[in-house]
Each structure stands twice: as structure tokens, then as C-alpha cells.
């Protein structure tokens, strides 16, 4: 278990009518998917002044000393910088498949820009953000006496942003992280806004889905043992609220499968071009050596 500061055969199934009988979806009264904010993107406009990333502000400087495991890596996102200089539609493009991905999302959401300008007026642009992180994972014990770990930044992230030359003319923006809709998700979870897959909603697709490994790091041979998980893929492509609903095999198998799927990353579900959270089932057929 971690806390944050600042060969297996894989099958995905979306919540069809059969799956919904096992894992009932939210009631219609809970469905509150916000309406998209449609903006014009000025990436290809003549005379565009590109956005400028502003310095990140930390409540305290990152602690450089590390008594645990040091790690570095780069996470790449696609996003839109709106006319107020805020990052929107932050979606994985190249994740690490590690816990640092969650820190990278927090960093990207905290970024602010001097907005792009066109003919003296603020403009929205789509772009690519690269976040290079240095982290430290230190063992600790929680209040219940359970061993856990704290993952924190050990230096201020290095970031690079560039506008995309192939952006569409318009974008449907997901709610900004400071809006009421986003705050409701943060306090009540995703169950109150999850739509049903189908119709005009494009389901999530795996972007990074490593196979489960044994203790020595060797992919396992396929047998008939299997595990199934229900999860929410959030609007960034991160798995959330992972719950096992099927396990054929010993508890160690279930734990190993859980540790595997929590590192999966996705291209999130899309509705009218807007990234949204969605509920899926994941099944893994695994084996022992």
C-alpha cells in the first residue's frame, strides 16, 4: 500500500447488461455528467502568441534527502490550455505505469499558464506536456500499525509544454479541477456521474497493461487461474476504486493481480470528444510457475 504526498492473458469487458447484473450501475438520479464547454482551438491561427508556463508554487520546498528508494521518470500528457491559462482535458499519452503517474497528474493539474493570445485576446490551444519527476519512496507505518510507504517529490519537476500542430478546430472541455462538478467527484467518488458505456460514449482503451509477474520478475505461464476486477477509469486514464469480484486461485494470486491492474493506464472514455470517467470490468487469466 502506498500513500502519496503532493505471461497473463488479459480481457476487458465493459458493463454490458450481463455484467450490470453482477455490478449494478448508478441509478439515473445519480447520473450527473456535466455538459461540455466547447471552445475554439487556435493552434493553426496566424499571429498566435503561444502560452507560457508559470512557475509552480509549493507550500514547502521538496525534501531532497531520501532514506528510501529514489526513482526518476517522465510522464507525457495531452491537454488543452484554456483562455484563462488553466490545463484542461489532461489525458495520459505516455505514462510510466508506476505510482509516480498519480504525482504527475497532481503536478499537471496544479500548472498555470499565461494564456495564449490571438489578436490581443485570450485563446485556447491544445498541446503536449512532459513532466519529468524525481521521487522518493520511504517505508512507514500507519496509525493501525500496517506497513505502508510514502511517495513524495524530491525536487521540483522539470516540465516542457508545446502546442500540437495537428489539433482539431474545437475541443469539448471537461470540468476544471476547481469547479463544483470536480469537487463533487473528489468528495463523493465517481459513482454519482458514471454513464453507461454505449451509444455516443467511446469506452476506455488500454494504453499500458503489463502482464503479472512472479516474485523473480518473470511473466507467468498461462493456466486456468483467473481474477476479475471492477474499476473506474477516471478522466485522465487512471484506474480508481478497484474491487475484486472474481478469484479462482489462492489469495497470493489475487494480490498479485491487484498490484498488476492498479498500474494499468488507459485512454479514458470519450463523449463528444470530452474525456469522462467510466466503469469497466477487467479479467486476468494467470498461472504459477
Number of domains into which the chain is organized? 2
The model's pLDDT over 152-174, given as tens digits with 9 standing for 90+, comes to: 888 999 999 999 988 999 999 98
Q: Are residues 231 and 281 in the same domain?
A: yes
Q: Are residues 203 and 284 in the same domain?
A: yes
The model's pLDDT over 226-273, given as tens digits with 9 standing for 90+, comes to: 788 899 999 999 999 999 887 666 777 788 888 889 999 999 999 888
Q: Are residues 45 and 163 in the same domain?
A: yes
Phi, psi dihedral angles at 77 (to 5 degrees): -125, 150
Rounded mean pLDDT of 16-33? 41
In a domain, 179, yes or no: no
CA atoms within 13 A on the CB side of 171: 26
Range of the domain at 46: 37-173
The pTM (predicted TM-score) of the whole model is 0.79
- Residues 98, 264: Cα–Cα separation, whole Å: 9
Q: Are residues 194 and 221 in the same domain?
A: yes
Which of 152, 173, 194 delimits the end of a domain?
Answer: 173
Neighbours of 246 (CB within 10 A): 14
- Residues 171, 90: Cα–Cα separation, whole Å: 12
Which of 141, 173, 205 delimits the end of a domain?
Answer: 173
Rounded mean pLDDT of 190-207? 72
Q: Name the H helices within 29-168.
A: 100-110
**Terminal CA-to-CA distance of the chain, rounded, Å?**
25
Q: Are residues 43 and 164 in the same domain?
A: yes
- Residues 27, 171: Cα–Cα separation, whole Å: 29
Q: Is 241 left (phi over 0), alpha (psi -120 to 50) or beta?
A: left
Q: pLDDT value at position 34?
A: 64
Lowest mean pLDDT across 2-16, 35-49, 98-112, 186-200: 2-16
Q: pLDDT value at position 178?
A: 52
Q: Are residues 70 and 161 in the same domain?
A: yes
What is the percentage of the chain residues whose pLDDT exceeds 90? Answer: 45
Q: Are residues 231 and 115 in the same domain?
A: no
- How many whole angstroms from its chain centre is CA 220? 27
Which three three-digit cell numbers place residue 54? 508559470
Instruction: Identify the CA nearest to 278 among candidates 266, 287, 286, 289.
Output: 266
Instruction: Identify the CA nearest to 172 among candidates 64, 268, 101, 60.
Output: 268
In a domain, 234, yes or no: yes
In a domain, 248, yes or no: yes
Q: pLDDT value at position 24?
A: 43
Neighbours of 109 (CB within 10 A): 17
Q: Are residues 50 and 163 in the same domain?
A: yes
Q: Are residues 69 and 129 in the same domain?
A: yes
Q: pLDDT value at position 211?
A: 74
Q: Are residues 41 and 164 in the same domain?
A: yes
Amino acid at each position: 500500500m502506498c500513500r502519496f504526498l503532493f505471461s497473463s492473458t488479459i480481457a476487458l469487458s465493459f458493463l454490458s447488461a450481463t455484467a450490470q447484473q453482477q455490478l449494478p450501475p448508478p441509478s439515473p438520479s445519480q447520473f450527473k455528467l456535466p455538459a461540455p464547454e466547447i471552445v475554439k482551438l487556435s493552434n493553426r491561427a496566424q499571429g498566435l502568441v503561444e502560452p507560457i508556463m508559470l512557475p509552480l508554487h509549493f507550500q514547502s520546498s521538496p525534501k531532497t534527502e531520501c532514506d528510501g528508494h529514489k526513482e526518476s521518470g517522465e510522464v507525457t500528457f495531452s491537454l488543452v490550455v484554456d483562455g484563462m491559462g488553466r490545463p484542461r482535458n489532461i489525458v495520459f499519452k505516455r505514462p510510466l505505469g508506476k505510482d509516480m503517474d498519480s504525482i504527475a497528474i497532481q503536478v499537471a493539474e496544479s500548472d498555470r499558464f499565461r494564456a495564449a493570445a490571438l489578436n490581443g485576446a485570450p485563446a485556447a490551444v491544445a498541446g503536449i506536456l512532459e513532466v519529468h519527476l524525481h521521487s522518493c519512496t520511504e517505508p512507514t507505518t500507519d496509525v493501525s500499525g500496517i506497513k505502508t510507504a510514502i511517495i513524495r517529490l524530491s525536487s521540483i519537476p522539470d516540465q516542457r509544454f508545446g502546442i500540437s500542430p495537428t489539433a482539431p478546430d474545437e475541443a469539448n472541455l471537461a470540468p476544471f479541477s476547481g469547479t463544483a462538478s470536480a469537487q463533487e467527484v473528489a468528495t463523493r467518488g465517481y459513482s454519482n456521474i458514471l454513464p453507461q458505456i454505449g451509444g455516443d460514449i467511446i469506452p476506455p482503451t488500454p494504453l499500458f497493461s503489463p502482464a503479472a509477474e512472479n516474485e523473480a520478475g518473470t511473466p507467468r505461464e498461462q493456466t486456468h487461474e483467473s481474477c476479475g476486477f471492477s474499476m473506474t477509469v477516471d478522466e485522465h486514464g487512471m484506474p480508481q476504486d478497484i474491487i475484486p469480484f472474481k478469484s479462482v486461485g489462492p489469495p497470493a494470486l489475487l494480490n498479485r493481480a491487484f498490484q498488476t491492474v492498479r498500474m494499468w493506464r488507459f485512454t479514458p472514455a470519450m463523449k463528444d470528444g470530452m474525456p469522462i470517467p467510466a466503469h469497466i470490468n477487467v479479467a486476468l487469466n494467470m498461472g504459477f510457475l
